[in-house]
Structure 1
Amino acid sequence: MTPGHRNPVASVRTRAARWVAIARLLPAAGGPLVTLALAVNLALGLLPVAFMVATAVAISRLPRAAAAGGAWGVVLPALLVGLSAFVVAQTLRPFQTAVAESVTRAVDGYCVDRLLTATTIDAPPSSLDRPEALDRLADARSAFDRAMPSPGDAVAGLVGLVARYAQLAAALVVLAVVLRPWAAVLAAVTAIAVRFGQRGSLAAFVEYWKGMAGERRKSAYLRTAAIEASGGKEIRLLGALPWFRDRYRAEAVGYLAQLWKERRRLLLLPFVGLAAVAAVGGGGVFLALATGVPRGTDGALALALTVQCLLVPLRFGVYFPESDVQTQYGMLAHRALTDFEAQTGHEARPERARPVPRLSEGIAFRKVSFGYPGADRRVYEELDLLLPANRSTAVIGLNGAGKTTLVKLLARVHEPGSGRIEADGVPLTDLEPAEWRRRLAVVFQDFNRYDLTLAENVALGAAHRPMNRDAVTAALVRAGAREILDAVGPGTALSAAYQGGRDLSGGQWQRVALARALYAVDAGAEVLVLDEPTAQLDIRAEVAFYDRFLELTRGITSVVISHRFSTVRRADNIVVIEDGAVIENGDHDSLLRAGGRYAELFRLQADRFDRAPDDPQADSTGDGRPDETAPDRQEALR
């Protein structure tokens, strides 16, 4: 059954549930603000009807005033009432807009907080990789980026409907009094039927639009890729703008063609039918007027009021600019938020969390098996590994060996499929995730570079504590970033996109990231992890970086992830991972003496730097070109 032809009872229930969900957001705006908004909209609904009645009374009294030789006193009171209603209504209009904006911002603030909580606290990190969750997240974010109406807009639109329905109720009362009750009932049925049908068609279209979230994400990526600073320079160099323009046009036209076709199907014919319903209902009310008015009713007054008040229910079949798009798409944004919360769920937490132990033994992976969803094979199959406390461990292996997955499991970004990870014998699943993560200081391979000040970039290592500027300075000095601190200053934004901001080189950012980790250690973290953060550095800078790291973290539980064997030779313990399993474990000298996989790969990586000077392949990058960093590499390997 298509969205436009669903069971009527189920449709009513679904739509009622959405309205209730939006109404439940009203408390987020605060009682006083909601009360003020309701009062303003109620007044704006009733004042136009008061104006209609007053002007109709004035018109009906004109013949009497003229017959009395210009006795305008019988007309003037009604005119004054009408004028007062008009003036007050026009005075309140700006307040309606201002109050609606205040409601929108208050509710959106609450919803943004929910979204941030879901993405950074409640949701298991692994759930954020699922396409369906990302589609819901994209729709929720686009609302808060003002690309579409937000939940706050929906609440403000709901409040705005108070004016419309108050005006309808008042107009129906007038019709019942001056004409006949059944005429008012007919007008009411016509208004509700047209309104329900019009919103039903819009809801069916929005439901279809919602299902195209994936197409919107692709189109949005192509639209923004060429205008973002990070990608613009390469696209300019490659001359790829025409390709992006053509690809975006093809994606957008394909998306819009489907959308427009469905829009015509869902909105065109229903509009014709609803227009016929309005014509029949309105004609019935005029028929009641044509057959005569109740005895004792002024005919001129009845005609003036009927014509004016009948327009109110007939207008219920048209678009309400202050409400319709806001509530319909704002409801969709709220559904995207609630669906995202439901799809991602909550990160598993123990009923009675145990205290996070101070490491004295280490972190142990015991028979850990793990595979990514949809992957052909598991990354780990019953992995056993010990990361000794208060010592440095290097985890090395070729690309694809499963090194980064180790960090994700350690940080509980993912959970093992079987087996368990222990900290001093305590399973990580028995610990509160947030408390455990505060014991970790991780420098990821793709660590974040925040467009914040230098001090803030470092202090985010322990964001749960107030910034300690002395500790920030100490961390930067220990990380070898004293010259950055002296040149930039702690209060300078690390982005040239801001006035007075400064860009840093890749190597400088590495030191800032290390300082962030060291700041976390000062705040209580006791496990430091480096996940190949030196990919942009030459071999000399990389060796110096790791040497500094290992020296600074002496006596601290530290883990270094690398695919370059030569850079981690000074670690206390070296673990070689291949095909998701630990194949060797020991220090550099013992592993070389063993002559196993570590020795083989170490010598293989070092071989081209130890060749004779007359070797045509010496100091080569592997494709015949000279390697200008070879002297640096040879020095680092010695």
Structure 2
Amino acid sequence: MPEATATPLRAFLARRTGQWLPILGLMPAAGRATVAATALFNLVLGLLPLGFVVGMAEVISRVPAALDPSDRDWSGLLTPFALGVAALVLQQLLAPFQQYLARVVVRRVDVHCAGRMMSASLAGADVAALEDPAVLTLLGNAREAFQRTTLTPGDAVAGLLALVARYGQLAGAVVLLAFVLGPWPALAAGATALLVRFGQRGSLARFADMWRGLGARRRELAYLRELGSGPSAAKEIRILGIFDWLAARHDARSDRFLRTLWKARRRLLFAPFLWFTAAGLAGAVVLLLAVVRQALDGELGLFGLALALQTALVPMRFGVYFPDSDAQTQFGLQAFHALRDFERQTGSATARSAAPVPEGRAAVEPAAGPTAAIRFEKVGFGYPRSGRTVLDGLDLDLPAGRSTAIVGLNGAGKTTLVKLLTKLYEPDSGRVTVDGVDLRTIAADAWQSRLAVIFQDYIRYELTARRNITMGAPHLAEGLSAAALAAALDAAIDRADARALIEGLPQGLDTVLSQRYTGGQDLSGGQWQRIALARAFYAVEAGARVLVLDEPTAQLDVRAESEFFDRFLALTEGLTSVVISHRFSTVRRADHIVVLDGGRVAERGTHRELLARDGEYARLFRLQAARFGEAEDEAGTAPGTEAESVPGPADEAGTGPEDEAGPGPEAGTGETAPPTLESAR
């Protein structure tokens, strides 16, 4: 074969065979014995119809003798008839077991792949990768399968095993045709069947590739359907009166998606269908002409003619759509490709975003908690694809066992600092150290097990109150007795001042925190914040020595917020704590306060020191205090009360009575929350 011809052929064969290798690689996840049994069942089920064909052909060949008036003997029909019926009955008896084995294969493979997807998204991928739209499209394509919106990798494995029956039957039919017609008609029938089959599957593969390219549009449609049919946005949609707009947008997007889909389907499937149908028809004509010629020439007896005519139907029908395998293998494999590409993309994104570990440093196990300080040394960082530097040469000390408050306007880098501290991101430049050890040399899971964190957008799990709290340290259950676990849970609830909340739930700690479940109950924002605080304190009970609170009381009412921070120093005693807040009334009790501006530390010191310095902190503090006084005035506080009196620098430095109370919720009688730093801006 010339090289010019061989190279495209090899490429074609490699591409077609390469499609099946990933499915073969997934088979061990179903269990070798299960796969072998399923393959054997499918092979037997594929060959049993041929046994019925042979038996019926033999019956037909003996009918003339049985009808001979001179010697009517029906006994010769019984044996082949019984064998044919036995093959048919056995096929029907085995079919349910085939379906059972297929479901076992699907479930086992899908559990394996779902575990890989969760591991890649929650453990293997960094946060930067999960914010990449291309990566999210891959993840969406993989998740569609496991949400049963489309077919799964398990379906692909089961579909491939189902093809054993189809190809086993084709091979058996070619052998029978060769037996009665000779090798050349049989080979022609087999080649035609494979040609049509490969052509149809190639068209389906191209259509599936087009379908995968519409992943972003499918995600948008799924979002619009969820938004318009779920409870999460029902209140706003009704109040704002945007249902008609939402429905019209969904219809327009759906129409655009379907028109694209239908146009591609006609282009990719219709014309090839006509060509391959013509090829199949030509092959069938050739085969039937061979049967007719040999029958007319007397080369075929009645048995051969009956057998050839019945068996010829197998290759003639081989190019049709197989409902038990085609969509399963094509779209199930596509879901697996999305999963595999997602794993690769998240791995490469992690490699790109992670700074190299300094030479000579081996991975180390972190101590139970910092004993000296956590330091940010000349740290620079910008989010991928944002084109903006968030932290620019940040130098910051977080003393061990002390509380540090981080304040600053929106965009100053406060939450970004927390993400670097918790190893969700790595610095672009500089380093973060724990007692002098570069944080990059510490495994992320080992370091994060030492942290108790409340993010501003903490998760509200639709689980019991007990599970919502113990999510803070699920590993704690592995090493403690039931009594010790109960004591840790009680301590966390008391630290978060959530005892009254828990006791007010219908089933206490065993109440599911969602009304979507029987006996469940929804919580207010402030109540959820207490649950989140209890979750963080449960991690502290489990041994976490670094406590990070990002806007920990943003949804508490003013009085509850004041009570929490009145107890803050006692609650965090012995911990290295970092508190981020817009409200000065919540940070003034911290051991020291850091003001971020433009990705750097603009000021640092205690509350009194910063007020005495009369810099940016003092200016924003007074502005916020004045705005709070105005808010209380409007709420009904009489002029001249303590809330209206805004202390000056000398008083706030320690000489005035307001120094201990300060401007905040405790300064007045109303429930009005103090303005945030952003409003003070």
| Partner Cα separation in structure 2 for residue 477 and residue 267 of structure 1 | 66
| Partner Cα separation in structure 2 for residue 612 and residue 18 of structure 1 | 67
Question: Partner letter of residue 410 of structure 2?
Answer: N
| Partner Cα separation in structure 1 for residue 148 and residue 196 of structure 2 | 30
| Partner Cα separation in structure 2 for residue 282 and residue 523 of structure 1 | 74
Which of 348, 361, 365 lines up with 1:355 in the alignment?
Answer: 365
Question: Partner letter of residue 180 of structure 1?
Answer: G
Which of 279, 289, 292 lines up with 2:294 in the alignment?
Answer: 292
| Partner Cα separation in structure 2 for residue 612 and residue 79 of structure 1 | 96
Q: Does 1:375 align with 2:418?
A: no
Q: Does 1:345 align with 2:364?
A: no
| Partner Cα separation in structure 2 for residue 634 and residue 54 of structure 1 | 90
Q: How does 1:416-495 map to 2 (within 5 A)?
A: 416-466=427-477, 468-488=485-505, 489-495=508-514
Question: Partner letter of residue 558 of structure 1?
Answer: S
Paired position in structure 1 for 2:656: none
Superposition deviation, residue 375 in structure 1: 2.0
Q: How does 1:103-182 map to 2 (within 5 A)?
A: 103-182=105-184
Which of 386, 401, 411 lines up with 1:390 in the alignment?
Answer: 401
Contact 1:197 1:270 (C-alpha < 8 Å) held by counterparts: yes
Paired position in structure 2 for 1:203: 205
Superposition deviation, residue 98 in structure 1: 1.3
Paired position in structure 2 for 1:521: 540
| Partner Cα separation in structure 1 for residue 91 and residue 299 of structure 2 | 29
Contact 1:42 1:163 (C-alpha < 8 Å) held by counterparts: yes
Contact 2:583 2:674 (C-alpha < 8 Å) held by counterparts: no
* Percent identity (aligned): 50
Cα deviation code 1:118-159 (max 9, x no counterpart): 111111222111111100100111100100000000000001
Paired position in structure 2 for 1:624: none
Distance 1:619 1:208, change over 3 A: farther
Superposition deviation, residue 540 in structure 1: 3.2
Distance 1:463 1:8, change over 3 A: farther
Question: Partner letter of residue 485 of structure 1?
Answer: I
Q: Does 1:411 align with 2:422?
A: yes
Q: Does 1:557 align with 2:557?
A: no
| Partner Cα separation in structure 2 for residue 609 and residue 46 of structure 1 | 84
SS at 1:414 equivalent: coil
Which of 301, 310, 328 lines up with 1:308 in the alignment?
Answer: 310
Distance 1:566 1:8, change over 3 A: farther
Contact 2:48 2:91 (C-alpha < 8 Å) held by counterparts: yes
| Partner Cα separation in structure 1 for residue 209 and residue 246 of structure 2 | 29
| Partner Cα separation in structure 2 for residue 529 and residue 272 of structure 1 | 66
Q: Which moved more, 1:530-539 or 1:293-302?
A: 293-302
Cα deviation code 1:450-472 (max 9, x no counterpart): 11111111111112231723211
Q: Which moved more, 1:528-537 or 1:506-515?
A: 528-537
Contact 1:530 1:560 (C-alpha < 8 Å) held by counterparts: yes
| Partner Cα separation in structure 2 for residue 211 and residue 266 of structure 1 | 14
Superposition deviation, residue 353 in structure 1: 1.5
| Partner Cα separation in structure 1 for residue 634 and residue 144 of structure 2 | 59
Question: Partner letter of residue 21 of structure 1?
Answer: P
Contact 1:610 1:634 (C-alpha < 8 Å) held by counterparts: no
**TM-score relative to the length of structure 2:** 0.88
Superposition deviation, residue 32 in structure 1: 2.0
Superposition deviation, residue 109 in structure 1: 0.5
Paired position in structure 1 for 2:250: 248
| Partner Cα separation in structure 2 for residue 135 and residue 386 of structure 1 | 40
Cα deviation code 1:67-95 (max 9, x no counterpart): 15321111111100000000000111111
Cα deviation code 1:532-564 (max 9, x no counterpart): 133333433333333334430122100001122
| Partner Cα separation in structure 2 for residue 424 and residue 87 of structure 1 | 76
SS at 2:389 equivalent: coil
Q: Does 1:399 align with 2:406?
A: no
**TM-score relative to the length of structure 1:** 0.94
Question: Partner letter of residue 37 of structure 1?
Answer: T
Superposition deviation, residue 297 in structure 1: 5.7
Question: Partner letter of residue 406 of structure 1?
Answer: L
Paired position in structure 2 for 1:3: none
Contact 2:139 2:342 (C-alpha < 8 Å) held by counterparts: yes
Distance 1:120 1:634, change over 3 A: closer
Contact 1:611 1:618 (C-alpha < 8 Å) held by counterparts: no
For structure 2, list consecutive stretches of 5 or more residues without a partner in the other structure: 1-6, 479-484, 640-664, 676-681
Superposition deviation, residue 524 in structure 1: 1.7
Distance 1:294 1:443, change over 3 A: farther
Distance 1:91 1:613, change over 3 A: closer
| Partner Cα separation in structure 1 for residue 501 and residue 633 of structure 2 | 42
Question: Partner letter of residue 394 of structure 1?
Answer: A
Cα deviation code 1:332-362 (max 9, x no counterpart): 0000000000000175697941120331111
Paired position in structure 2 for 1:503: 522
Question: Partner letter of residue 190 of structure 1?
Answer: T
Paired position in structure 2 for 1:623: none
Paired position in structure 2 for 1:546: 565
| Partner Cα separation in structure 2 for residue 145 and residue 433 of structure 1 | 30
Q: How does 1:50-69 map to 2 (within 5 A)?
A: 50-67=51-68, 69=71
Contact 1:409 1:415 (C-alpha < 8 Å) held by counterparts: yes
Contact 2:466 2:510 (C-alpha < 8 Å) held by counterparts: yes
Q: Which moved more, 1:164-173 or 1:345-354?
A: 345-354
| Partner Cα separation in structure 1 for residue 74 and residue 568 of structure 2 | 95
Q: Does 1:323 align with 2:325?
A: yes
Question: Partner letter of residue 459 of structure 2?
Answer: N
Which of 527, 531, 553 lines up with 2:550 in the alignment?
Answer: 531
Superposition deviation, residue 501 in structure 1: 1.3
Superposition deviation, residue 633 in structure 1: 6.6
Contact 1:394 1:573 (C-alpha < 8 Å) held by counterparts: yes
| Partner Cα separation in structure 2 for residue 465 and residue 238 of structure 1 | 46
Superposition deviation, residue 613 in structure 1: 9.1
Question: Partner letter of residue 71 of structure 2?
Answer: G
The alignment's C-alpha RMSD in Å is 2.4
Paired position in structure 2 for 1:35: 36
| Partner Cα separation in structure 2 for residue 257 and residue 23 of structure 1 | 36
Distance 1:519 1:277, change over 3 A: same
Cα deviation code 1:16-59 (max 9, x no counterpart): 21201101111101122112211211110010011011101111
| Partner Cα separation in structure 2 for residue 189 and residue 142 of structure 1 | 37
SS at 1:601 equivalent: helix
Superposition deviation, residue 617 in structure 1: 12
Q: Does 1:100 align with 2:107?
A: no
Q: How does 1:582-597 map to 2 (within 5 A)?
A: 582-597=601-616
Distance 1:223 1:386, change over 3 A: same
| Partner Cα separation in structure 2 for residue 246 and residue 407 of structure 1 | 41
Q: Which moved more, 1:545-554 or 1:218-227?
A: 545-554
Superposition deviation, residue 230 in structure 1: 1.2
For structure 1, list consecutive stretches of 5 or more residues without a partner in the other structure: 1-5, 621-626
Paired position in structure 1 for 2:261: 259
Which of 611, 619, 624 lines up with 1:605 in the alignment?
Answer: 624
Cα deviation code 1:282-336 (max 9, x no counterpart): 1111121122169996422222112211111121211100000000000000000
| Partner Cα separation in structure 2 for residue 551 and residue 332 of structure 1 | 55
Superposition deviation, residue 509 in structure 1: 1.2
